[in-house]
Amino acid sequence: MSNQLAISMDGVSKQYSHFRLDDVSIQLEEGGIMGFIGPNGAGKSTTMRVIMGLVLADSGEINVLGHAIPDDQARAKMSIGFASEDMNLYPTATLQWHMDFVRSIFPSWDQQYADALVKRFDLHHDLKIKGFSHGQKVKAQLLLVLARRPRLLLLDEPTTGLDPVARREVLDELMEVLADEERTILFSSHNTKDVEQLSDSITFIDRGCVIESQDKESYLERWRRIRFEVPEGSRTPTLPGVDSVQKAGRLVSMTTGNFEPDMPAILQDQGAVIHGVENMTLEEIFVAEVMSSRQGEAA
Amino acid sequence: MTEEFILSQSDGRPMYLQIMDQIKLRITVEDWNPGFKLPSIRELAIAAKVSVITVKRAYQELEGEGIIITRQGKGSFVAEIDGLGRQLREDELDGYLVQALEVAESLGLDIGTVRERLYEIAVDLGKMNGDET
């Protein structure tokens, strides 16, 4: 993988009356796929719109595919494919009309790939968009973006509201995009399973702040749940760097985002009987991170 | 060749471990023999529908275990070790036996009891004749 950055955001802020995107910094290498996770209203869509030049930041530096945003956004946009739930196709026009329209603007349009996608996504050229189901509309929008073969795909919730088959079709297609090492994807999702499976790196955002932005493997590796038993009447052992401790009778479940291999031994020295050291799913980590970050704010 | 890399959604273990297991399984059943050239990291990522970094991690771990060897600019190969498949089969069995011993230990059972139980279970399953002692 080259080390060239497809997206570089540095200290980007944007103030709204009831929301603030606060000092957001994200770096995404060319050829990589980043999953962007956060609760509703966390600032995922706003961040994507800033990258796309659709929202003007108050401060900070943004560079996309070597183009400064917003100054050089017109050139950047020729190579960015952006799809979002908020965008609508024309209800009374057919899919074919939309394909012809996009092709007339973007010279990179690949007709063969577009035709293949119509088949793979099980869509119809000659049907008006108003006759499409929700899933078909999502896939149609994605098709219009993919067939341009953009170097950077910005996909805001590409799998939300899709049935399992359609979701699979979309995810498979995203993996195919990555066969080309020079193409990059940033996608947001509520579905942490999708993100865990596909992403090279992960960015967590909550209440307008980036909580974490890291490569996925190192990130998952940092987190563990240690389950152990303490003898009756004795104190619960303690460790530095523990995020939460839950106790039920003699059984204790400790989660940490700073796992070190010697932790179980330290607990044992304090009288604990270790029952298990478990990896955590991205979903469990996500919830733990958001809770602990919010507690920190409240304190 | 690589198209059957299917990861289990219900397997709670990290995905890089599942990838490692699938590669080891191919070596165990001797579909991939010593010297076999593995798919590139990106090819396998696309086939298994997982991220490049996950496959990279799996390859690094397998290299650490000496099961595969990566040659700069040429790709990764199954290590040229005689009987590697058999060795992996034995390693797998050993893994289960170690687990069994650990459980026995936590239940306060000694190794003699474990041996007896193993024998009794084999008899119950009809894998051994109960008379031959």
A28 plus A159 within the same structural domain = yes
The number of folded domains in chain A is 2
Domain of B68, CATH number, reads 1.10.10.10
A174 plus A141 within the same structural domain = yes
Nearest to A175 among B9, B16, B46 (CB): B46
Domain of A268, CATH number, reads 3.30.70
Q: How far apart are CA A44 and CA A191, in angstroms?
A: 14
B108 shares contact with chain A (CB less than 8 Å):
no
The dihedral formed by the CA atoms of A224, A227, A232 and A236, expressed in degrees to the nearest 10: 10
Asked if residue B4 is part of any domain, the answer here is: no
Asked if residue A269 is part of any domain, the answer here is: yes
Asked if residue A288 is part of any domain, the answer here is: no
A58 plus A177 within the same structural domain = yes
What integer pLDDT is reported at residue B131 of this predicted model? Answer: 63
Q: A152-156 and A242-248 as β-strands: parallel, antiparallel, unpaired?
A: unpaired
Asked if residue B10 is part of any domain, the answer here is: no
Rounded to whole angstroms, what are the CA distances from A168 to A162, A165, A231, B17? 9, 5, 48, 23
Q: Which of A159, A198, A227 to mutate to test the interface with B (most CBs of B within 10 A)?
A: A198
Rg for chain B, CA atoms, rounded: 19
B35 plus B72 within the same structural domain = yes
Rounded to whole angstroms, what are the CA distances from B66 to B34, B77, B83, B84? 12, 11, 14, 10
B88 plus B73 within the same structural domain = no
| A108 phi, psi to nearest 5 deg | -80, 0
Bond into A237 cis (ω within 30): no
How many CB pairs below 8 A link A and B?
48
The number of folded domains in chain B is 2
Asked if residue A77 is part of any domain, the answer here is: yes
B45 plus B69 within the same structural domain = yes
A24 plus A163 within the same structural domain = yes
Nearest to A220 among B14, B46, B50 (CB): B14
Residue-wise pLDDT tens for chain A (299 aa)? 446 899 999 999 999 999 999 999 999 999 999 999 998 889 999 999 999 999 999 999 999 999 999 999 999 999 999 999 888 899 999 999 999 999 999 999 999 999 999 999 999 999 999 999 999 999 999 999 999 999 999 999 999 889 999 998 999 899 889 888 889 999 998 888 889 989 999 999 999 999 999 999 999 999 999 999 998 877 888 888 888 888 888 899 999 999 999 999 999 888 888 888 999 999 999 888 888 777 776 65
End-to-end CA distance of chain B: 46
Residues of B in contact with A181 (CB under 8 A): 42
What integer pLDDT is reported at residue B12 of this predicted model? Answer: 73
B61 plus B100 within the same structural domain = no
B16 shares contact with chain A (CB less than 8 Å):
yes
Angle formed at CA A33 by CA A30 and CA A37, multiple of 5 degrees: 130
B58 plus B40 within the same structural domain = yes
The answer to whether A195 touches A224, Cβ cutoff 8 Å, is no
A54 plus A176 within the same structural domain = yes
A22 plus A135 within the same structural domain = yes
B74 plus B88 within the same structural domain = no
3-state secondary structure of A206: strand
Closest residue on chain A to B52 (Cα): A200
User: Are A32 and B52 a contacting pair at CB < 8 A?
Assistant: yes
Nearest to B49 among A31, A179, A197 (CB): A197
User: Could you list the residue range(s) of the whole structural domain that residue B39 is in?
Assistant: 15-78
Indicate whether B90 pLDDT > 70.
yes
Asked if residue A56 is part of any domain, the answer here is: yes
B46 shares contact with chain A (CB less than 8 Å):
yes
B44 plus B66 within the same structural domain = yes
- Look at residues A269, A227, A232 and name the one whose alpha carbon lies nearest to residue A249: A232
Is the confidence metric ipTM above 0.85 for this complex? Answer: no
Closest residue on chain A to B57 (Cα): A217
User: Could you list the residue range(s) of the whole structural domain that residue A162 is in?
Assistant: 5-219
A98 plus A232 within the same structural domain = no
User: Are A198 and B46 a contacting pair at CB < 8 A?
Assistant: no
A203 plus A229 within the same structural domain = no
B69 plus B106 within the same structural domain = no
Tell me which residues of chain A, numbers 21 to 40, contact chain B at a CB-CB cutoff of 8 Å: 31-33
B94 plus B64 within the same structural domain = no
A99 plus A212 within the same structural domain = yes
The answer to whether A64 touches A150, Cβ cutoff 8 Å, is no
Task: Write out the E strands in B59-101.
Answer: 68-71, 75-78
Q: B75-78 and A20-29 as β-strands: parallel, antiparallel, unpaired?
A: unpaired
User: Are A193 and B7 a contacting pair at CB < 8 A?
Assistant: no
A192 shares contact with chain B (CB less than 8 Å):
no
pTM for the model:
0.85
